[in-house]
Structures are given as C-alpha cells and as structure tokens.
C-alpha cells in the first residue's frame, strides 16, 4: 500500500492594521490555493492583524467566538473543502492576548488550537526591541492533531528556535511540523532557512511554514520566504522575500518513513545527565 500524498499550500501575507482587509486577503488566497489543487492551506502568524501598539491591538481584537477573521476562514475551509491552518490570530485572553493557531477541518469546524509557547523578548543589534511577554501570555501545552493524511505538529514563529519542542512533536507521531511566522527581516536573513531545514532534518519530518513578508503599516519589516521542506531537508517551495502570494508542493508521506529509516535519530536518543567539572 502506497503512502498518502496530498498538496499543501502556504499563503504569504503582508498583514496590516485593518483586520477585515487582512481577512479578505487571506480568504482570497485560500480560494486561489484550493483552485490550484491545495488540500491543506496554511496562513502566517498574525494573519488578521500586525499592530505594535498595545492599545490599538486591544481595540481591534476580540474573543475567538466573535472574531470575524476566524469566522471568514472557517467559511472558506467549508466552501472549498480544504483544511485551513490559521498560523495564528491575536485573540483576547483575560487582560492579555493569546497568540493562537487554529486548525480548521474541511467542514469548517475547529479541530485544534495551539497557543504560542515561547514569547519573543529580545533586543537586536539594529536597535529593534521586542517584548511579547508585555502583551501576550504564553501557552503551556504542545499540540499534535490528525489531518486526513498525516499527523501535524503545531508551533509558531519563535518556537522554531527550540528543537526540543519539535522533537517532542515528532515523538508524539507528527510527520509534518510547522512554524508559521512573522520573522523579522534581520533574524530571517541570518537564520530562517537554516532553522527550518534543521528542524526537518533532525526529526525526519516535513516543515511547512507560511510567513509574513515586507514592510508593514506598523513599521516592522518581516522576512517572508514561506517554505515547504521535505524530511531530507530539501526546499520544495520558497515564496521569496517580500511579495504576498501562494506556494504549493506535493507532500509524499513515504518520504518521512524513508528519512527516519535512513537516519533513525528519533529512535537512537538516549537519556543522559550533565556533569559539571570545576577546578
């Protein structure tokens, strides 16, 4: 019996400050991807809104049950009979915000959610400073979910720098790993491709990561380069740097078993302790 195959798509966006305009762009891209044969479509982190002002962000977001972008994407999934993986939306979570991914099935139902575990609190050499923890609350649980063809591991952006998370997802049966993102241009130029390929190679998994790209209305600049990478680390599709668009690739799940048989690193892991030797 041959391994399952399906067509995956990444939607590259340049989300701005108008959630409804961003929603409409995402819905149009999902329709395009479906018309080109996609069965699974992933959008980037912060699909509906990129807004640095905490006050403005709170003015424009709501709880998931009332979110118009989530409702629109659920309808798009149902109408086109595709799985839609919303890379993330900013949704109200008490007095803070959750950076939450939504997996929507082909009937438009929410099959799984995931809140970004690792918050991006950094000071970059070019003067950029980010303090996600001032606004967002981090998740506490890793999530895998079954697609019709394979098991998916959910993650978001900065999570990609934490290989233990991806190993845990693969050990939980995930054959497809993800990192939908709004990566800064500076860090993306340095690390985006190598991190994506490393997570695929280490676990013998596909990596599918939709991204934001270009100069946004709130002044930030993101790297783009939405990627689909196979379990041997080969780039199957790359959206390039800045322009919105859709990329597609066939996902052959047989390549997961092949890569994991050739380099069985998941099975070879051993428990160990760390000994600190001091003078």
**Residue numbers annotated as active site:** 45, 116, 157
Question: Can you say how many angstroms the Cα of residue 47 is from the centroid of all Cα atoms in its chain?
Answer: 10
Q: If 0-12 CB within 10 Å is exposed, 13-18 middle and 19+ buried, where does residue 65 land?
A: exposed
Q: What are phi and psi of 4, to 5 degrees?
A: -60, 150
Considering Cα of 48, then 54, then 55, then 61, what sign does the dihedral take?
positive
Residues 165, 143: contact at Cβ < 8 Å?
A: no
Which DSSP helix (H) or strand (E) runs through 266? Answer: helix 265-268
C-alpha dihedral (114, 120, 165, 199), degrees to nearest 10: 110
Residues 157, 178: contact at Cβ < 8 Å?
A: no
Rounded CA separation 127/59 (Å): 27
Calculate Rg over the CA atoms of the chain: 18
Q: What are phi and psi of 108, to 5 degrees?
A: 90, 10
What are the tokens at 248? 């597609």
Q: What are phi and psi of 20, to 5 degrees?
A: -70, -35
Helices within 36-156 (DSSP H only)? 54-60, 68-80
DSSP type of residue 181: B
- Residue 69 pairs in a beta bridge with none
Classified as helix, coil or strand, 37 is: coil
């Amino acid at each position: 019996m041959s391994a399952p195959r399906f067509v995956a798509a990444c939607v590259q966006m340049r989300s701005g400050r108008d959630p409804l305009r961003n929603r409409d762009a995402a819905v149009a891209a999902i329709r395009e991807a479906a018309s080109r044969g996609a069965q699974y479509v992933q959008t980037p982190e912060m699909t509906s809104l990129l807004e640095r002002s905490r006050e403005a962000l709170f003015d424009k977001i709501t709880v998931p049950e009332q979110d118009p972008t989530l409702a629109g994407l659920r309808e798009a999934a149902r109408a086109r009979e595709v799985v839609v993986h919303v890379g993330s939306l900013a949704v109200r979570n008490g007095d803070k915000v959750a950076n939450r991914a939504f997996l929507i099935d082909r009937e438009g139902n929410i099959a799984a959610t995931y809140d970004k575990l690792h918050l991006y609190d950094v000071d970059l050499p070019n003067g950029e400073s980010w303090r996600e923890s001032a606004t967002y609350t981090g998740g506490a649980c890793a999530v895998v979910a079954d697609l019709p063809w394979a098991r998916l591991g959910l993650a978001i952006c900065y999570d990609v720098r934490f290989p233990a998370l991806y190993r845990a997802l693969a050990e939980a049966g995930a054959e497809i790993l993800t990192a939908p993102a709004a990566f800064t241009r500076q860090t993306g130029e340095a690390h985006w491709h190598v991190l994506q390929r490393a997570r695929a190679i280490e676990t013998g998994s596909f990596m599918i990561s939709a991204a934001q790209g270009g100069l946004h209305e709130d002044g930030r600049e993101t790297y783009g380069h939405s990627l689909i990478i196979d379990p041997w680390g080969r780039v199957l599709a790359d959206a390039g740097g800045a322009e919105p668009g859709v990329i597609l690739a066939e996902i052959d799940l047989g390549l997961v078993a092949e890569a994991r048989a050739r380099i069985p690193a998941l099975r070879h892991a051993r428990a160990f302790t760390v000994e600190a030797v001091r003078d």
